[in-house]
A and B are shown apart, each in its own frame.
Chain A
Amino acid sequence: MPRIEIQKTYKIFINGQFPRTESGRYYPLKNKKGDVIANICLSSRKDFRNAVVAARGAFGGWSGRAAFNRSQILYRIAEMMEGRKEQFIAELVAQNTPVKAAKHEVEEAIDTMVYYAGWCDKYQALFSSVNPVASSHYNFSVPEPTGVVAIIASEYLSLIGLVSAIAPVIAGGNTCVVLASESMPLCAVTFAEVLNTSDLSAGVVNILTGKSEELHTHFSTHLDVNAILYCRNNKSEIKTIKENASLNVKRVFVYENDLKLIKAQGPYFIFDFQEIKTTWHPIENIGSSKGGY
């Protein structure tokens, strides 16, 4: 008797768990031949709301970790991705990426994760400064994570688009809610499984699948979201997002072109989701008196 193949149910990833969408809706994903290869959750605004609650809850713990420890965890993610390489490639191929390009994309994605793992405990030194001031203060500025970041990931780069958007955000100590590509969502769900086995605390990354046209309004209006990263090029969505973001002065970044390139790496992607805190620390008047030092 021929064996019946067990198909994987692709679900969403919220707070370290894999629920189905609360709305019960889904959409069929088809390959080139028109065969249905998976049913994908069509996430609703309530899923997004739950994900933001999870991300907010995880923020204190994640941003409070030692930078070096974050680095270790990101590196661990890369290790786990390496183990799933064949699966990622197979999924990309199922989504109509040519085999050679798929292999290249997966390897670049893993390398990107390692790249940002390295930056976790180094960007602070790069972006900090000790500032000269006229009064007797020791004045210094340091970057601190912005908070909860909503990400609408690239539509055309199933894996590398996702990784290059998420990695710098979490490397900088933020937590995030990500909407994966609508037409190429398979790698996103598998990537969630990778995250779930990588010592990453629950809620740091939450991944939804579904339509940007339905969700971008909620992504941009939610008052508990501190920044939004948009990696597509729909002009009217960009306009709506920018307008809605003014509600609570969210930071808005549109990487319309940047992440189209497979090699989009750099510490400035981390810096986008950092706030600079400047501290004035009173000291004795060093110049004119004998200091107590």
Chain B
Amino acid sequence: MSAPIILPDFRNTPTIDQVGVEERAARFTTRSIKKSSKLQGLSMALNMIDLTTLEGKDTEGKVKQMCYKAAHLHDVIPGLPTVAAVCVYPSMVKIAKDALKGTNVKVASVATAFPSGQSSHEVKITDTKFAVANGADEIDMVISRGEFLSGNYNFVFDEIASIKEACGKARLKVIFETGELSTLDNVRRASEIAMYAGADFIKTSTGKISPAATMPVTLVMLEAIRDYYYKTGRMVGMKPAGGISTAKSALHYLVMLRETLGGAWLSNEWFRFGASSLANDVLMQIAKETTGVYQSIDYFSKD
């Protein structure tokens, strides 16, 4: 017997008070986290990173290099975790998968004509299946923002559902590109559509558009996840991506996560940071906590 299909009901969707959300989000940045709890938070943040390279100039060598870094973040300090996953284009999935054999690091692939999503349904499905067939554990899809903004919510819903089907066992992250959705109400609505359509994760941005992840946007999405969880009992993950480059802001996000969704979400199964330069900053802070000396980027690998 299959689970009953539940559809989103926008009549029950609360409208978002932007000023209130911004104020609430700002409060999370005032928590004081020091010493051992800071170290633990940093280590957790490190373990939640999706180390990302999504550039036209990506090469096999670059991806291999990044995969090595994913599993060996900074061997000078023993006992560091690995990152959660690497995030690459579909054409690089096989290379990443091979490079990460024998580690716990997952391979995530963007798909569905990333980053614009402007292509035919067939192309998007093929794109997804290609990535999965090459060994991707996770798929990061983009929604059709144009369709969403013109009110074709059914189109967006169906598209997500069909990509979810094409994913098979791979977990699906749905990218909204919140920088293009213009209001927080739209972000909330997109979150509901994605979760009801079967998303395992919802994700803020591609990293190609500014503004990318911000704390208010993430808060709105976290609250949508919370409400969905209360309604259906299903946990959905969250991935802010783009623009989070300092250890300090990573800790702020973790505080927000803990205080909005609770401890159950505090693992890389339910929360990720999509970032490329965050890892080094976190490593520098961890090194600073363990050695007592402020660090220089010169002593950390670039990729």
Residues on A close to B: CB < 8 A? 49, 52, 218, 221-224, 247-248
Contact = CB atoms under 8 A, between A and B. Distances in A.
A248 B294 contact: no
A49 B294 contact: yes
Contacts of A52: 294
B297 interface: yes
B297 A222 contact: no
Contacts of A223: 293-296, 298-299
Contacts of A224: 294-298
A52 B294 CA distance: 10
8 contacts: A221-B292, A221-B294, A222-B294, A223-B294, A223-B296, A224-B295, A224-B296, A248-B296
A55 to B, nearest CB: 12
Contacts of B299: 223
B32 to A, nearest CB: 13
B296, B297, B299, most chain A CB atoms within 10 A: B296
A49, A247, A248, most chain B CB atoms within 10 A: A248
Contacts of A49: 294
B153 to A, nearest CB: 44
A221 B291 CA distance: 11
Interface in B285-303: 292-299
A66 to B, nearest CB: 26
A52, A218, A224, A247, most chain B CB atoms within 10 A: A224
Contacts of A222: 293-294, 296
B278 to A, nearest CB: 16
Contacts of B294: 49, 52, 218, 221-224
Contacts, number: 22
Interface of A (DSSP majority class)? loop
Interface in B253-303: 292-299
Contacts of B293: 221-223, 247
4 A-B pairs with the lowest CB-CB distances in the bound complex, closest first: A224-B296, A223-B296, A222-B294, A221-B293
A53 B80 CA distance: 25
Contacts of A221: 292-294
A165 to B, nearest CB: 22
A52 B297 CA distance: 12
Nearest to A45: B294
A248 B299 CA distance: 10
Nearest to A148: B296
A1 B296 CA distance: 57
A223 B283 CA distance: 14
Nearest to A244: B293
Contacts of B296: 222-224, 248
B77 to A, nearest CB: 14
A133 to B, nearest CB: 30
A52 B284 CA distance: 14
A49, A218, A222, A247, most chain B CB atoms within 10 A: A222
Nearest to A53: B294
B76 to A, nearest CB: 13
A42 to B, nearest CB: 19
Nearest to B299: A223
Nearest to A223: B296
A247 B291 CA distance: 11
A98 B100 CA distance: 72
Contacts of A247: 293
Nearest to B297: A224
Contacts of B292: 221
A217 to B, nearest CB: 10
B38 to A, nearest CB: 14
A35 to B, nearest CB: 38
Given A223-B296, A224-B298, A247-B293, 16 more contacts: A49-B294, A218-B294, A221-B292, A221-B293, A221-B294, A222-B293, A222-B294, A222-B296, A223-B294, A223-B295, A223-B298, A223-B299, A224-B294, A224-B295, A224-B296, A248-B296
A34 B297 CA distance: 47
B248 to A, nearest CB: 12
A248 B293 CA distance: 11
A247 B288 CA distance: 13
Contacts of B295: 223-224
Contacts of A248: 296
